[in-house]
Chains A and B, each alone.
Chain A
Amino acid sequence: MAYGIRLHVWGERACFTRPEMKAERVSYDVITPSAARGILEAIHWKPALRWVIDRIYVLHEIRFDTVRRNEVESKISASNIKSAMKGAKTMAHQIITEERQQRATTLLRGPAYIIEAHFELTSQAGDTDTPEKHYNMFLRRARQGQCFHRPYLGCREFAAYFAHLDPECEIPASYYKDAEEVDLGWMLWDMDYTRDMEPAFFRPIMRQGVIEVPDLLKEGG
């Protein structure tokens, strides 16, 4: 596996929402490959490349917590904006006091992972898009803590901190290093944007704290 990278990510909280529990958000036990991809893309991405998550190391114990917040029930309606654009001086605002929903979020506490990934060039790669170039760009950014936007653990309020892990560095011991096999059930792998955002699922098995992630999308997305 040429050009593999390892990124240590951690934060105070995380919520990798299960799609079947979206109203009262409940997080998966561990980070999904799609959220991990989002973190890498927050550091470096171009349409010319596709990040592929190979392995996820779960470092800390899986612990949950709940937070209930006031949320807005509706989204901005595009038609309202259109009529306002046509000259309505004021537009119908969202009035939070009338559209309030109290929703609980079941989130993860103190998550920490190591994401092992590589990238593939897509059909959009130009002549100047060499793997070396993008690999070095990512390394430079990850080492210096540079990012396109602050990566996050599932939701933007759960900011992620990250540090690059050099290949010769030892991987920190996982809380689950003695757990032979933990079946985490069916989990979202990622969205397939080539097929109208169809979700793809896989069955992660955590062995000694490590999850092997398959690549369900062999052709460049």
Chain B
Amino acid sequence: MSNEKIFQPIQKRYDFTVFFDVTNGNPNGDPDAGNMPRMDAETGHGIVTDVCLKRKVRNYVEIVKGADTGHGIYVTEGAVLNEQHRRAYVSIRGDEEAKAQELKPKDKSEAHILTQWMCSNFYDVRAFGAVMTTKVNCGQVKGPVQFTFARSVDPIFPSEITITRQAVTQEGQEKEREMGRKHIVPYAIYRMNGFISAHLASKTNFTDEDLSLLWDSIVNMFEHDRSASRGEMTVRKLIIFEHESPLGQAPAHQLFDRISVEKAQKDADQPARSYQDYVITIDQNQLPAGVSIIEK
């Protein structure tokens, strides 16, 4: 890839599907249900929200790129080190005000400059977009990358595991240990569909380099997100449909329908407990002209 191309916004539409699985862990807790794994109450399928997966992508980019210029992460987790004291606000109009929050960009052009600056400095603004406090068209930047809710292929059966701790929180308690609870899903495979629009990429200048970083971050999103609650989470497959033009060559739902997930034959009637219990197939026959499949 030539250097020139790297700094151009992407020129193609992408529709992609990610398969990830969880073993003895809680992929995404539901605050409405005491942190049980999210479930679709009607069908029993597990759910992982779009924002949960976006968070993983942000964290990965933050780890890989550090404070590399142009790859800042605007919505961060935890404390930000070395944060400078905010400089006294000196507006472009030259007046100084303590209540900087009250100020709005004067006009469209100023809002545009601010937006572009955000896009060029922050990877997550460039990829996912952001809402800024401006009066101009809500100051929204629509990012090119669109995630959806991930849903498990089969219904999930979460179980509650009670654990004990050999210590107590407060002094002077009679008991010597305390009980706690963990929610786990023994095994489940989830599927998330996503989309990338080349047209919106040109607005935030989301480049080919950004795109390959996005693919990397999706493939590795759980590798740096280990914790006691997550169990083992792994991205199993990333299937990308690359169209040759910004508008695309085929309806997304027809492309997604080419991907099927079946229980493996040998114990189809048993509950799945590993990735080997599933077979993912991609129908490569008679792909629409101009669409190619990339697997990562």
Residues of A within 8 A of B (CB): 12-13, 65-72, 75-86, 88-90, 92-97, 102, 104, 109, 141, 144-150, 152, 156-159, 161-163
Query: Top 7 A-B pairs ranked by shortest CB distance?
Result: A145-B251, A149-B197, A79-B100, A150-B195, A146-B247, A161-B253, A157-B50
Given A78-B114, A92-B86, 18 other A-B residues pairs in contact with their CB atoms under 8 A: A12-B151, A67-B149, A68-B30, A78-B103, A78-B139, A79-B91, A79-B103, A80-B86, A82-B114, A88-B84, A90-B84, A92-B80, A93-B76, A95-B79, A109-B42, A144-B250, A147-B13, A147-B197
Q: From residue 158 to 214 of chain B, which have CB atoms closer than 8 A to chain A?
A: 193, 195, 197, 199-200
Give the residues in chain B near A158, CB-CB below 8 Å: 148-149
Interface set, chain B 8-67, CB cutoff 8 A to A: 13, 15, 30-32, 38, 40-42, 47, 49-51, 55, 67
Return the contact of B75 from the options A13, A65, A72, A144 (Cβ within 8 A): A72
Q: In the complex, what residue of chain A is closest to B43 when comparing beta carbons? A: A109
Interface residue? B133 (CB, 8 A):
yes
Would you call A149 and B253 a contact (CB within 8 A)?
no
Q: Does B267 contact A (CB under 8 A)?
A: no
Asked whether A96 lies within 8 Å of B77 as measured between CB atoms, the reply is yes
Contact indicator B105/A147 (Cβ below 8 Å): no
18 A-B pairs whose Cβ atoms sit less than 8 Å apart in the complex: A13-B149, A67-B149, A70-B31, A75-B131, A76-B131, A78-B133, A84-B117, A85-B117, A86-B90, A89-B84, A90-B67, A90-B84, A95-B79, A144-B249, A148-B199, A157-B149, A159-B252, A162-B251
List chain B residues, Cβ under 8 A from A159. 146, 148, 193, 195, 252
Q: Complex formed: what's the CA distance from A13 to B40 in Å?
A: 12
Q: Is B7 an interface residue (CB 8 A)?
A: no
**CB-CB < 8 A to A79: which residues of B?**
89, 91, 100-101, 103
CB within 8 Å for A157 and B84 given contacts A75-B132, A75-B133 = no
Measured in the bound complex, the distance between the Cα atoms of B148 and A161 in whole Å is: 12
Q: Which residues between 233 and 278 of chain B lie within 8 Å of chain A, taking CB atoms?
A: 246-254
CA distance A82 to B133 in the complex (A): 12
CB-defined contacts of B226 to chain A, threshold 8 Å: none
Contacts of B148 in A (CB 8 A): 12, 157-159
Question: Does B50 contact A96, Cβ atoms closer than 8 Å?
Answer: no
Cβ distance B204 to chain A, nearest Cβ, rounded Å: 12
Residues of A within 8 A of B30 (CB): 68
Q: By CB atoms of chain A within 10 A, which of B15, B78, B90, B252 has the most?
A: B252
A-B contacts, CB under 8 A, total? 164
Interface contact B31-A68, CB-CB below 8 Å: yes
How far is B193's CA from A159's CA once the two chains are assembled, in angstroms?
A: 9
Interfacial chain A residues near B250, Cβ < 8 Å: 144-145
* B134 CB–A CB distance under 8 Å: yes
**Across-interface contacts of B249 in A (CB, < 8 A):** 144-146
Are A152 and B146 within 8 A (Cβ)? Answer: yes
Write out the residue numbers on chain B whose beta carbons fall within 8 Å of the beta carbon of A67.
38, 47, 49, 149
Contact of B132 with A78 in the complex, beta carbons under 8 Å: yes
Say yes or no: A95 contacts B89, CB within 8 Å: no
Measured between beta carbons, the chain A residues less than 8 angstroms from B15 are: 150
Residues from chain B with a CB closer than 8 A to the CB of A83 are: 86-90, 100
Using A69-B49, A158-B148 as known contacts, say yes or no to A90 and B252 having CB atoms under 8 A apart. Answer: no
Q: Which residues of A have CB within 8 Å of B219?
A: none
B1 contacts the other chain (Cβ, under 8 Å)?
no
A147 in contact with B248 (CB, 8 Å):
yes
A149 touches B114 (CB 8 A): no
C-alpha gap A65/B47 in the complex (Å): 12
Q: Compute how far the CA of A149 lies from the CA of B129 in the bound complex, rounded to whole angstroms.
A: 13
